[in-house]
């Protein structure tokens, strides 16, 4: 979690959050439930009573709003069939708003779709929400306010106006992709942001680390005078699949892989490689599904649509069939119970997993999510595995621990937006409680990541062992809570680098690397924020480290391999090309 700037740090470490359930849904809510998609999925169409729809949307917001709802058990998805709606949609924790058209222009929200400050004086903990596949005509000052930090993506949105990436106070980290903003995007006090394959009328604002990949309308200015990293073309991407509603029911649209692209794909017209009817999905529901029933469906060759809820798994979900699609909606959450992982993907082609939150369980897991078995060797360049919007939590909602959250063993995997978080506040938080060594470990070759958010783990946040890896944008905080300097040493090295490329790697490249530190307990010393083989130092582009707050004797001595500036209470920021 990002708490920033120099003078403002909001610390919630050790706080136990009590969930308020005072707000309830209106008595008529059930008639808006989808019979196909189950509870807490509401499907709207323009012919409905908009006063009732507004009342229901407001009721969901009230249930999910405020500090006490950050670790709520509730999950909701609000789905809109094609047409125009006059609504004010306030988006809070565990709310996902989805248009059901073939194009974002098929669903128009006239009024507002917004995320605002609802507790405290900033949006530093405005997490776990999202908006996809619709057009927004903001009526208040022609501006959509999306004040968020991590795990709050905007995808496939068309904003016919301006976009403001903050509300009150400070914000730190966000994601925008496959979108068009006609007006001005204002970043204000937003400290870092990642934008991919979008059109922007104008970008105004700068702070620490703003990255644009395949974006039309990128701002003027170059690193380090301006904190902008600009990549003209996105080398390889498949946009995230989305749900549509037709006369014969729901379908899932799967776009094709594209190379060296820029701008949103939907502006060019048809972009569908596959249309998968809902009958080819197993609809996973919280009220009666578990690992046994879900694995049985996978063995029958079904794809999965995991509806809003929390799913406790006594065994891993095993994905062995090529081209299987696993889609979560409404921040659906998987929680392993028996020391198992949540998901294991075999070393096969074309699997897609998107829209899931994965929490470590109280019994320690070695891994939470694995792609490919150890030692996987097959090439998948023509049909890679794609992961989108996967959010990991070790502690926070409850006590949990895992050695590593995400391990990539397969080759050619593409990850598009992931947040790996060892909790610094909430429930079950402490150096000896929510144990977690690494956020992500990459053993496969040719792995690409767009938007890697990774923080607070107890060893390397990112450990990269495969060749030909590429990372576009990195946001990371070191752990807040090493109890002593000696507790965070290894092999004669002070501290652990956040970003570690192992000595055996011969090719690796990364752009827009931001690493920050807050050490509240001991005067911690860290030798390097980034470690790579010496031959690869020139392949890590646009690096920034920042001393935020904490023990005034703590120090990060270098940016990379003993080179670059140090940061401490007397010199808070260091930058390298």
Note the pLDDT tens digit of each residue in 485-541.
999 999 999 999 999 999 999 999 999 999 999 999 989 999 999 999 999 999 999
pLDDT beyond 60 at 157: yes
Note the pLDDT tens digit of each residue in 429-464.
999 999 999 999 999 999 999 999 999 999 999 999
The sign of the torsion formed by the CA atoms of 208, 211, 215, 219 equals: positive
Average pLDDT over residues 557-562: 98
Instruction: Record the tokens describing residue 337, joined without a space.
Output: 């119970």
CB 54 within 8 A of CB 77: no
pLDDT beyond 60 at 12: no
Using CA atoms, how far apart are residues 190 and 419, in angstroms rounded to an integer?
17
Average pLDDT over residues 354-364: 98
Q: Could you tell me whether strands 540-550 and 573-576 are parallel, antiparallel, or unpaired per DSSP bridges?
A: antiparallel
Average pLDDT over residues 169-176: 93
Q: What percent of the chain is modeled with pLDDT above 70?
A: 96
Average pLDDT over residues 89-93: 98
pLDDT score recorded for residue 335: 98
Q: What one-character DSSP code corresponds to residue 437?
A: S
Q: How far is CA 277 from CA 107, 175, 225, 254, in A?
A: 20, 29, 50, 11
pLDDT score recorded for residue 247: 84
Count Cβ atoms below 10 Å from residue 209 Cβ, excluding itself. 27
CA-nearest of 103, 100, 78, 134 to 247 is 100
Q: SS3 for 372?
A: coil
pLDDT score recorded for residue 10: 33
Average pLDDT over residues 213-222: 97
pLDDT score recorded for residue 19: 38
Residues 6+ away with beta carbon under 8 Å from 269: none
pLDDT beyond 70 at 9: no
- Residue 121 — very low, low, confident or very high, per pLDDT cuts 50/70/90? confident
CA-nearest of 364, 490, 370, 375 to 428 is 364
Check residue 106 and give left, alpha or beta (phi > 0: left; psi -120 to 50: alpha): alpha
Average pLDDT score over the chain: 94
Domain ranges of the chain: 33-237, 277-576
Residues 6+ away with beta carbon under 8 Å from 62: 23
Stretch (H or E) spanning 199: strand 199-204
Distance, first Cα to last Cα, the chain = 26
Instruction: Record the tokens describing residue 333, joined without a space.
Output: 């959450």
pLDDT score recorded for residue 470: 98
CA-nearest of 232, 259, 267 to 104 is 267
Instruction: Record the tokens describing residue 432, joined without a space.
Output: 């000896």
CB 230 within 8 A of CB 212: yes
pLDDT score recorded for residue 120: 78
- Does 277-576 match 33-237 at the fold level? yes
Angle (nearest 5°) at CA 360 between 359 and 362: 125
Using CA atoms, how far apart are residues 179 and 158, in angstroms rounded to an integer?
6
Q: What is the CATH number of domain 277-576?
A: 2.160.20.10
pLDDT score recorded for residue 22: 59
Backbone angles phi, psi at 542, to 5 degrees: 60, 80
Q: SS3 for 399?
A: coil
Using CA atoms, how far apart are residues 296 and 434, in angstroms rounded to an integer?
32
Instruction: Record the tokens describing residue 516, joined without a space.
Output: 């920050």
CB 319 within 8 A of CB 298: yes
Q: What one-character DSSP code corresponds to residue 71?
A: T
Using CA atoms, how far apart are residues 214 and 177, in angstroms rounded to an integer?
10
The residue assigned the tokens 């000052």 is: 141
Using CA atoms, how far apart are residues 201 and 203, in angstroms rounded to an integer?
7
pLDDT beyond 50 at 129: yes
Note the pLDDT tens digit of each residue in 234-282.
999 999 999 999 888 999 999 999 999 999 999 987 778 899 999 999 9
| Active-site annotation, residues | 477
Q: SS3 for 124?
A: coil
CA-nearest of 415, 365, 398, 552 to 72 is 398
CATH architecture of 33-237: 3 Solenoid (2.160)
Q: What percent of the chain is modeled with pLDDT above 90?
A: 91
Cis status of the peptide bond prior to 5, with omega within 30 of 0: yes
Average pLDDT over residues 209-236: 97
Instruction: Record the tokens describing residue 381, joined without a space.
Output: 């360049």
Note the pLDDT tens digit of each residue in 365-412.
999 999 999 999 999 999 999 999 999 999 999 999 999 999 999 999
Average pLDDT over residues 20-46: 86
């Amino acid at each position: 979690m990002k708490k920033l700037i120099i003078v403002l740090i909001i610390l919630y470490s050790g706080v136990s959050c009590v969930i308020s359930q005072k707000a309830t849904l209106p008595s008529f809510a059930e008639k808006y439930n989808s019979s196909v998609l189950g509870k807490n999925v509401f499907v709207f169409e323009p012919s409905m009573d908009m006063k009732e729809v507004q009342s229901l949307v407001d009721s969901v917001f009230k249930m999910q709003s405020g500090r006490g709802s950050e670790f709520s058990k509730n999950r909701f998805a609000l789905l809109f069939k094609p047409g125009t709606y006059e609504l004010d949609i306030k988006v809070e924790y565990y709310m996902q708003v989805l248009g059901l058209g073939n194009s974002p222009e098929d669903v128009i929200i006239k009024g507002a779709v917004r995320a605002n400050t609802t507790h405290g004086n900033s949006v530093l903990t405005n997490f776990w929400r999202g908006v996809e596949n619709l057009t927004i005509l903001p009526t208040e000052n022609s501006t959509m306010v999306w004040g968020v930090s991590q795990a709050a993506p905007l995808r496939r949105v068309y904003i016919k106006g301006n976009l403001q990436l903050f509300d009150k106070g400070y914000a730190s980290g966000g994601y925008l992709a496959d979108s068009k903003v006609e007006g001005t995007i204002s970043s204000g006090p937003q400290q870092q942001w990642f934008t991919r394959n979008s059109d922007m009328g104008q970008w105004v604002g700068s702070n620490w680390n703003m990255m644009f990949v395949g974006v039309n309308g990128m701002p003027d200015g170059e690193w380090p005078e301006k904190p902008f990293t600009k990549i003209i073309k996105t080398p390889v991407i498949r946009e995230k699949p989305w749900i549509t509603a037709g006369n014969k029911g729901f379908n899932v649209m799967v776009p094709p892989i594209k190379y060296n692209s820029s701008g949103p794909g939907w502006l060019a017209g048809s972009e569908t490689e596959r249309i998968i009817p809902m009958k080819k999905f197993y609809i996973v529901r919280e009220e009666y599904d578990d690992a046994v029933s879900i694995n049985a469906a996978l063995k029958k060759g079904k794809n999965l649509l995991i509806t809003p809820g929390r799913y406790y798994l006594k065994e891993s979900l095993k994905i062995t069939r090529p081209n299987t699609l696993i889609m979560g909606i409404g921040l659906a959450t998987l929680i392993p119970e028996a020391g198992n992982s949540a998901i294991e993907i075999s070393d096969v082609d074309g699997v897609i997993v998107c829209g899931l939150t994965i929490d470590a369980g109280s019994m320690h897991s070695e891994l939470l999510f694995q792609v490919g078995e150890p030692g996987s060797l097959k090439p998948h360049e023509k049909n890679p595995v794609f992961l989108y919007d996967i959010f990991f939590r070790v502690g926070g909602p409850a006590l949990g621990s895992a050695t590593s959250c995400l391990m990539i063993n397969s080759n050619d995997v593409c990850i598009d937006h992931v947040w790996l978080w060892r909790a610094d506040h909430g429930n079950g938080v402490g150096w000896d409680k929510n144990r977690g060594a690494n956020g992500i470990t990459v053993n496969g070759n040719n792995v690409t990541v767009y938007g890697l958010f990774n923080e607070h783990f107890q060893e390397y946040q990112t450990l990269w062992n495969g060749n030909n890896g590429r990372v576009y944008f990195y946001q990371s905080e070191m752990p807040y809570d090493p109890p002593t300097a000696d507790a965070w040493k290894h092999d004669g090295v002070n501290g652990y680098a956040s970003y570690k490329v192992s000595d055996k790697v011969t090719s690796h490249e990364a752009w827009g690397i931001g690493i920050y530190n807050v050490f509240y307990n001991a005067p911690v010393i860290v030798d390097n924020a980034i470690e790579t083989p010496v031959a690869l130092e020139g392949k890590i582009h646009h690096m920034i480290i920042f001393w935020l707050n904490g023990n005034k004797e703590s120090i990060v001595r270098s940016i990379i391999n003993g080179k670059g500036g140090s940061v401490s209470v007397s010199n808070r920021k260091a930058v390298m090309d």
